[in-house]
Structure 1
Amino acid sequence: MKSNFILGMCLLFLIQYFVRSEWLQLVLAVCAVIAFAGSVTRARTVPRIFSLLMFVSGIALTALKGLGIEAAAQGVTSNLPLLTLLVLVPLLSIPFKMGGFFDSILAYLKRYRHSPRRMFAGITAVLFVLGPILNLGSIRIVHDLLKDLRLNAAFLSKAYLIGFSTTILWSPYYAAVGVTLLYLNVSIGDYIRYGFGLAILFLVAGNLLFGVWSRKREREEGRESEGGITAADRKRMQRLPFIIVFLMLVTIAAESFTHWSMLVLVSLLAILFPLTWVSVSGQWSLLKNFVADYRNKAVPIMDNEIIMYISAGFFGQSLRETSFGDGISQFMTNIAQVSFLWFALFILVAMICVTFVGIHQVVFVTVFATQMDPAALGTTKEILAMVIMLAWSASSVLSPVNPINLLVSGLVKRSSIQIGFRDNGLYLALVCVMGITILTIFH
């Protein structure tokens, strides 16, 4: 019942985006409040506390400014584009499951099991390609494919976090990029050349760093016999990059042509891509099973994200034109006027600190991005977006309470601190220095 309600709310948002009806906006606001109330009791303690504080603060600030119900409705629904993207994007994985692409990926990875460097490159490349489509699910799927190979835990934590952290920098299908571009009003076509370039650079840097690390350790040997590569596997692996690139190009071209929100376009694509796939393949009964599995398993576990996104959007909107919001804006401007390098370092350190105590990055970005003026900071919207995404990526790996860190920690059976600092600390230090240096030069 709850999953159907959340999905219905997302579909209603897509309708409202094109209809632009005031009464639908109010209905959406009511739906968002109900979704918040239904999820807050099921969420983890830290997200629950911060979400309630932000939601109550949003109500108080809206009332103190003397704004009406329309302003409150706009605030409550301000992050619904992001929430819709988060809920619907997993649908993109269905055609890949139906087409047997994951089995072919496993066959190729098994081929490199006796070569740690090639295996590492293969895992990070797979996460780089699948991460934009499957988000966190890509890590779980890759781990399920590799669990019988009994690979070293430190090896896996490096591969998973290095491969996936690059996705955060560039993918228009990832919520981090979506919320940042939404609040800074940046086109994905303008942003992706920066994000994709840095992501490739960091992916190469991570593999080179692993090459140095692996020389100091014994060569890993697997226990399974190597799987054979069939003609069907080769065909699927040849098609996979073209499908991913096609989806990206469709998104960018559609945004350029229609000027619709990138979040809306990706959400629509998440619905249309599986329907188009089964229209060609005729696997309608199989689609029904996968959709039922998605509705029953993927949607119900999004309680933390639902309450954080709704409350953060409400709180961020309510801060506008307040003395506190103006103070944040002036503070950021003062730092940027001293030095853009200091400004970038402040964003990086501040986001790592807030995520370390359990505050989701979306809270930081919603509050700060809504108060930032790139022109006043002396930079461009694209560079500012890249600084935020670099900080988001680093904090996701380091924070012991971040979902990405917690997922990998649970899969490889190592503590969150170990996989964040010990296994990937040197890599993060390297790419943060590289990233801030490059962005400062471009700035």
Structure 2
Amino acid sequence: MMRSYFILAMCVLFLIQYFVQSEWLLYILAVFASVAFMGSLTLARTVPRVFSILMFIAGVVLTGLKGQGLDAIAQGITSNIPLLTLLVLVPLLSIPFKMGGFFDSILIYLRRYQNKPGKMFAGITVVLFFLGPILNLGSIRIVHELLKDLRLNAAFLSKAYLVGFSTTILWSPYYAAVGVVLLYLHVSIGSYMAYGFGIAVLFLLIGNVMFGLWAKRNKLETNYNESGAITLDHRKRMKLLPVVIIALMLITIAAEYVTHWSMLVLVSLLALVFPLLWCMFSKQWGIFKHQIIEYRDKAVPVMNNEIIMYISAGFFGQSLKGSSFGQGIQVFMNQLSQTSFLLFALFIMITMVCITFVGIHQVVVVTVLATQMDPVTLGTSKEILAMVLMLAWSASSILSPVNPINLLVSNLVKRTSIDVGIRDNGLYLLIVSAIGLCILTLFH
């Protein structure tokens, strides 16, 4: 419990420091981040732990070799704290949806299509497309919990979960992957969404068309229990749900345009304010208290891998700036881009997939590359470069047998990580990646 309070205090301290811009608050935040890093090391998995320790040590050494002092160390250690704050606070957005009974209504509507695989697949992917930004991996858990009694085909679920959630990774301002890319490339969410949302919708449509062909070829049939009655309350909730989600997105985009504050800060503030406002209007204080306790005890303490990887990767990425190694990366990427932008984008994707395949988090690759690449020098725009990184992040999340998304789905559907990533979704990823790279090269 105390550890959860400490992590939450670190997030609040970051938000205060963002507006105050005090040097001594930055040092305190660096101390908090260092303590959180050390405290999470023993609780994290082996591979993230080893790489995090190596990156943290490398960050200290490189910063020292450049002759920089405590200021640079504090800046490096805290560089990814905005992302951690987003990651820690965004689950709070799910509380109003739980209190409002939206998940029960989703189940009732999905059960209507239990004898129609194509519509069921479309329903699951669309639900994940919109809930994924707010619930993160929790959206897959919740949908699976709603559908577990239907005894759906394992390959069907594997395809539905990963097609639906992988598209979320491409566009959501509430997802840390988008946050880290936009942070380092200094891209506004408004300009990015034109690309991210459009490509995500295209991939969602492609996934559904490919599933239709797969279901017809495999003669997929369903035969399950009758669904429950759809009441007036369920209809009201299902009409209100997209309105609330779209309103949250528009508020975020509009607030960034007006205030010019960091998107990560705006989403974090929204995650704090939205549940409180919902509770004030609904007067469900008892349920709200229970949800907060559950969030404190279950959601916050399990972020050990993310804490150590984000802090160490941020420190390492910042320490590379101005180093000969960092300059070497710049020269190589610039030459590759000038030779062929398609080859450059393909290199980023293959590199991301290979590195995550052995258990290294995507944030390491993105932090290192994004801190060393200049879109102008590469001959492209910030938005296109951001989309290339996000396309690689999305593909590697599905293919890597040790990525949390792949592992979660494989555990839920009782199939191996290789089956889930390559056998069930490999062809889909190959097609959408090829289409995505061609589109980005054309716009480039």
TM-score by length of structure 2 reads 0.99
1:232 pairs with 2:226 = no
For residues 118-141 of structure 1, give each alpha carbon's deviation from its aligned partner in whole angstroms, at most 9, with x where no partner exists: 000000000001001001000000
Query: Within 5 A, what are the aligned runs for 1:158-237?
Result: 158-237=159-238
Alpha-carbon contact 2:114-2:224 (below 8 Å) kept: no
Equivalent position of 1:101 in the other structure: 102
Equivalent position of 1:117 in the other structure: 118
> Quick one: which amino acid aligns to residue 367 of structure 1?
V
Equivalent position of 2:25 in the other structure: 24
> Per-residue deviation at 1:219?
3.6
Query: Within 5 A, what are the aligned runs for 1:402-421?
Result: 402-421=403-422
> Quick one: which amino acid aligns to residue 431 of structure 1?
V
For residues 348-395 of structure 1, give each alpha carbon's deviation from its aligned partner in whole angstroms, at most 9, with x where no partner exists: 100000000111000000001000000110000000000000000000
> Per-residue deviation at 1:64?
1.0
Alpha-carbon contact 1:116-1:220 (below 8 Å) kept: yes
> Quick one: which amino acid aligns to residue 400 of structure 1?
P
> Quick one: which amino acid aligns to residue 140 of structure 1?
R
1:327 pairs with 2:328 = yes
Alpha-carbon contact 1:151-1:220 (below 8 Å) kept: no
Query: Within 5 A, what are the aligned runs for 1:30-41?
Result: 30-41=31-42
> Quick one: which amino acid aligns to residue 404 of structure 1?
I
> Per-residue deviation at 1:70?
1.0
Alpha-carbon contact 1:149-1:222 (below 8 Å) kept: no
Equivalent position of 1:249 in the other structure: 250
Secondary structure, aligned partner of 1:301: coil
For residues 33-89 of structure 1, give each alpha carbon's deviation from its aligned partner in whole angstroms, at most 9, with x where no partner exists: 000000000000000000000000001111111111111001000000000000000
Return the alpha-carbon distance in structure 1 between the equivalents of residues 330 and 284 of structure 2.
Answer: 53
1:56 pairs with 2:70 = no
Structure 1: 4+ residue segments shifted above 3 A: none
> Quick one: which amino acid aligns to residue 129 of structure 1?
F
Return the alpha-carbon distance in structure 2 between the equivalents of residues 136 and 226 of structure 1.
Answer: 26
Return the alpha-carbon distance in structure 2 between the equivalents of residues 268 and 232 of structure 1.
Answer: 30
> Per-residue deviation at 1:284?
1.4
Return the alpha-carbon distance in structure 2 between the equivalents of residues 150 and 301 of structure 1.
Answer: 29
For residues 273-323 of structure 1, give each alpha carbon's deviation from its aligned partner in whole angstroms, at most 9, with x where no partner exists: 001101111111211110110000001100000000000000000000000
Equivalent position of 1:135 in the other structure: 136
Alpha-carbon contact 1:150-1:222 (below 8 Å) kept: no
Return the alpha-carbon distance in structure 2 between the equivalents of residues 299 and 373 of structure 1.
Answer: 35
Equivalent position of 1:344 in the other structure: 345
> Per-residue deviation at 1:220?
2.5
> Quick one: which amino acid aligns to residue 269 of structure 2?
L
> Quick one: which amino acid aligns to residue 334 of structure 1?
Q
> Per-residue deviation at 1:341?
0.5
Equivalent position of 2:150 in the other structure: 149
> Per-residue deviation at 1:226?
1.4
Return the alpha-carbon distance in structure 1 between the equivalents of residues 436 and 419 of structure 2.
Answer: 24
Equivalent position of 2:75 in the other structure: 74
Return the alpha-carbon distance in structure 2 between the equivalents of residues 220 and 2 of structure 1.
Answer: 48
Alpha-carbon contact 1:139-1:160 (below 8 Å) kept: yes
Return the alpha-carbon distance in structure 2 between the equivalents of residues 410 and 121 of structure 1.
Answer: 22
> Quick one: which amino acid aligns to residue 76 of structure 2?
G
List gaps (5 residues or longer) in structure 1.
none
> Quick one: which amino acid aligns to residue 429 of structure 1?
L
Secondary structure, aligned partner of 2:286: helix
Alpha-carbon contact 2:177-2:390 (below 8 Å) kept: yes
Return the alpha-carbon distance in structure 2 between the equivalents of residues 329 and 361 of structure 1.
Answer: 19
1:309 pairs with 2:307 = no
Alpha-carbon contact 1:143-1:411 (below 8 Å) kept: yes
Alpha-carbon contact 1:347-1:391 (below 8 Å) kept: yes
Equivalent position of 1:276 in the other structure: 277
> Quick one: which amino acid aligns to residue 302 of structure 2?
I
Identity value in percent: 71
For residues 20-43 of structure 1, give each alpha carbon's deviation from its aligned partner in whole angstroms, at most 9, with x where no partner exists: 111000000000000000000000
For residues 82-103 of structure 1, give each alpha carbon's deviation from its aligned partner in whole angstroms, at most 9, with x where no partner exists: 0000000000000000000000
Equivalent position of 2:48 in the other structure: 47
Return the alpha-carbon distance in structure 1 between the equivalents of residues 319 and 434 of structure 2.
Answer: 35
For residues 188-240 of structure 1, give each alpha carbon's deviation from its aligned partner in whole angstroms, at most 9, with x where no partner exists: 00000100000000000000000000001234324322111111000000000
- RMSD after superposition: 0.6
Secondary structure, aligned partner of 2:402: coil
List gaps (5 residues or longer) in structure 2.
none
Equivalent position of 1:13 in the other structure: 14
> Per-residue deviation at 1:164?
0.2
1:363 pairs with 2:364 = yes
Return the alpha-carbon distance in structure 2 between the equivalents of residues 365 and 195 of structure 1.
Answer: 17
> Quick one: which amino acid aligns to residue 424 of structure 2?
D
Alpha-carbon contact 1:308-1:362 (below 8 Å) kept: yes
Return the alpha-carbon distance in structure 1 between the equivalents of residues 273 and 191 of structure 2.
Answer: 25
Alpha-carbon contact 1:131-1:138 (below 8 Å) kept: yes
Alpha-carbon contact 1:168-1:389 (below 8 Å) kept: yes
Secondary structure, aligned partner of 2:372: coil
Alpha-carbon contact 2:115-2:224 (below 8 Å) kept: no
> Quick one: which amino acid aligns to residue 22 of structure 1?
E
Return the alpha-carbon distance in structure 1 between the equivalents of residues 408 and 420 of structure 2.
Answer: 11
Return the alpha-carbon distance in structure 2 between the equivalents of residues 222 and 142 of structure 1.
Answer: 19
Return the alpha-carbon distance in structure 2 between the equivalents of residues 368 and 129 of structure 1.
Answer: 29
